[in-house]
Amino acid sequence: MNSRREPRGKPEEPAKTLAQAFAIGEKVEVLCDHKRSGRRVRDWVEGVIVHADGRMTAVQFRSDVYLTDGWMVPDRILWFTRGSEKIRSTRRRARARLTRVSGKRRN
């Protein structure tokens, strides 16, 4: 008799615990040290996802970013763990809609 138990029926689907939170190419905001108007600030800055897997997410920026100990990141890419609170989806800014006033047209 075989000591291993053989599964019956369909094999079970693997659990989807490693689902990606972000997709490559998606715009996100990251809380980090960066330059704004020539001054170094710690605030949210927009970047683009360049790598995403079950554990880590890499974000690349257009402006210089800095590590917490003061060093500038030469390739402008910061890595974050999957559940980090320092990365979020970009907030869509609502555009003001221009409405046409009914009545006379200006010529």
Reported residue count of the chain is 107
Residue for token pair 């659990």: 15
Q: Is the pLDDT of residue 38 over 60?
A: yes
CB atoms under 10 Å from CB of 85, counted, come to 8
Close Cβ partners of 3 (under 8 Å, ≥ 6 residues apart): none
Output the pLDDT for position 8. Answer: 58
Vertex 93 angle, CA 62 and 67, to 5°: 30
SS3 85: coil
Percentage of the residues of the chain whose pLDDT score is greater than 90: 49
Output the pLDDT for position 34. Answer: 94
Task: For residue 16, name the pLDDT band (cuts at 50, 70, 90).
Answer: very low
Output the pLDDT for position 51. Answer: 95
CB atoms under 10 Å from CB of 22, counted, come to 19
Could you tell me which residue, 98 or 33, shows the higher pLDDT? 33
pTM assigned to the model? 0.65
